[in-house]
Amino acid sequence: MPRTYLVTGSASGIGRAVAERLQGQGHTVIGADLGGADIEADLATADGRAALVTRAGELSGGRLDAVVACAGVAAFDPLTVRVNHFGAVATLEGLRPLLAAADAPRAVVVSSVASVHPVDDELVEAALSGDEGAAVAAAEAAVERGEGRVIYGSTKRSVARWVRRTAVTEEWAAAGITLNAIGPGTVVTPMTRPMLDDPEARAVVDTAVPMPLNGHAAPEQVAPLLDWLTGAENTHVTGQVVFVDGGADAVLRGDGTW
Ligand code: NAI
């Protein structure tokens, strides 16, 4: 049965691949991105987040079957905090009332295997407490210490933990809305292409994200998992971070977590 999806980050990479896959199955996809999408909104800003919610309500007629929060950046910069954590949380919280109007509502956010890398605990805790100013300040402090590289993984950790604690609440589980995250390994997209084209940077990436099964992924190899998690068939998977990483999480964390 055709469903209506909202996909952020729909103009590129993983978001584009899942949007195209869903459209190919006959579903309606409302794309959102900085440009080249049905809804053009900057999720780093309060105005952009509000515009997303307003336009999504108009374009969907007040009901969304699923939301895929994919928009993200990987800069060693506080912007990454604004987009990856607060932009994603605003997307999911803002669109939740539209999901609540559907029969089989589903939501998923794209975290990363970088969520298991070392993080800035202050940044993560500030993000989880909903204090954007404090989280941005922690990111600025990390940049000043020359540790800007921890920002990305910190945002992916905080959004994954937000999913864990939020999925089982009244507003989500008790309302019949699944809420999960996925944790991709290295996916070849415009975000990673410049690093992967540089042999030195590629070696650093491959050490940080070892992928013994089939190596780097194409966005089209990640999209089916997003498709299943947000489909009506997913009745009981919620609060999970599902790694789609060629085994990287199992290499990095071993059998101490499951
Ligand atoms: P991409 O750069 O191809 O696509 C990201 C999209 O997000 C772009 O279209 C961009 O315009 C949009 N975006 C960025 N900032 C935005 C903002 N302020 N407001 C609205 N839209 C914004 O990157 P890719 O690789 O497809 O990444 C998608 C998601 O997957 C991101 O959250 C990324 O962190 C995550 N991810 C990517 C991995 C990879 O290896 N490529 C690995 C793990 C996670």
pLDDT tens-digit readout, 39-70: 999 999 999 999 999 999 999 999 999 999 99
Domain extents in the chain: 4-116+156-244
| DSSP category for residue 184 | E
Integer Cα distance of 162 and 155 in angstroms:
10
| Per-residue pLDDT at 1 | 86
Q: Where are the beta strands (DSSP E) in the chain?
A: 4-8, 28-33, 39-40, 66-69, 106-110, 178-184, 241-244
Catalytic residue positions, numbered: 152
**Average pLDDT, rounded, for the chain:** 98
Decide: 7 in ligand 1 pocket, CB within 6 A: no
Q: Among 34, 186, 196, 225, name the best residue to mutate to test ligand 1's pocket (greatest count of ligand atoms within 8 A of Cβ).
A: 34
- pLDDT tens per residue, range 107-133: 999 999 999 999 999 999 999 999 999
Categorize the per-residue pLDDT at 244 as very low, low, confident or very high, splitting at 50, 70 and 90: very high
Q: What is the mean pLDDT of residues 140-151?
A: 97
Average pLDDT over residues 194-206: 97
DSSP state of 103: S
| Cβ(115) – ligand 1 distance below 6 Å | no
Ligand 1: distance of its center to the CA of 90 in Å? 16
112 lines ligand 1 (CB under 6 A): yes
Query: Per CATH, the architecture of 4-116+156-244 is what?
Result: 3-Layer(aba) Sandwich (3.40)
